[in-house]
Amino acid sequence: GAVVSQHPSWVICKSGTSVKIECRSLDFQATTMFWYRQFPKQSLMLMATSNEGSKATYEQGVEKDKFLINHASLTLSTLTVTSAHPEDSSFYICSATGTGPGYTFGSGTRLTVV
Amino acid sequence: AQSVTQPDIHITVSEGASLELRCNYSYGATPYLFWYVQSPGQGLQLLLKYFSGDTLVQGIKGFEAEFKRSQSSFNLRKPSVHWSDAAEYFCAVGGDPYGGSQGNLIFGKGTKLSVKP
């Protein structure tokens, strides 16, 4: 079946630094990648949608300059949290759709900013 | 507006008892429905999904769900709960995953399941 590999699974970084999260579709072409965020004890909220080769579309309230999304190829999308602060600590998860069955999720990345 | 409602924030059941988690949705097109489970600190695991056909779908770990279009519901059930089922459960709705306009999933707020010994 379709697999999306997400790395890293967890990361701790210092406040002010940047962190990059990768999502790769292993056996299908991901024409669209969705990035979600989950605060503790809350549901998943869509942050942005990226189509391969295009600029990402951000949901209202999500800072595009802070959460940089790159989807340069059909198998790789990255989310970079720039100048991270403790309030950015969260669980980030990607989902890919494309030539495979839709709604294939990565395993998530737990980001802790100290 | 498109939305998913899980009316129960927290449910506690005894081990061996039956379970039903409620999910209602509002969606403007043909809904494609999912149930995911999430253990603390872990990612999402797909339990089951409904795309079309038989409205009673079987999933992993002994779970099943029934799609009722007239009630806009997709409730999750399990006849006998195990202690390892304690987790957070999310219902989600989206559009045709094989269609040309595949969109994102809309998630409910989740139901936390606790299991008493």
Q: What is the pLDDT of residues A27-68, one digit of tens each?
A: 888 888 999 999 887 889 999 999 888 889 999 999 999 999
B40: chain A residues, CB-CB within 8 Å: none
Residue type, B85: D
Is residue B99's pLDDT more than 70?
no
Tell whether the model's pLDDT for residue A100 goes beyond 70: no
Mean pLDDT of all residues in B16-31: 95
Query: Cβ B43–A105 below 8 Å, yes or no?
Result: yes
Q: Residues of A18-40 as b/e, b for ≥16 C-beta within 10 angstroms?
A: ebebbbbbeebebbbbbbbbbee
Residue of chain B minimizing CA distance to A42? B109
A99: which chain B residues are within 8 Å (Cβ-Cβ)? none
- What's the pLDDT at A51? 87
CA distance A102 to chain B (A): 4
Judging contacts by C-beta atoms under 8 Å, the chain B residues touching residue A93 are: 43-44
Number of Cβ within 10 Å of residue A6's Cβ equals: 22
Mean pLDDT, chain B, whole residue set: 92
For B28-45, what is the mean pLDDT? 89
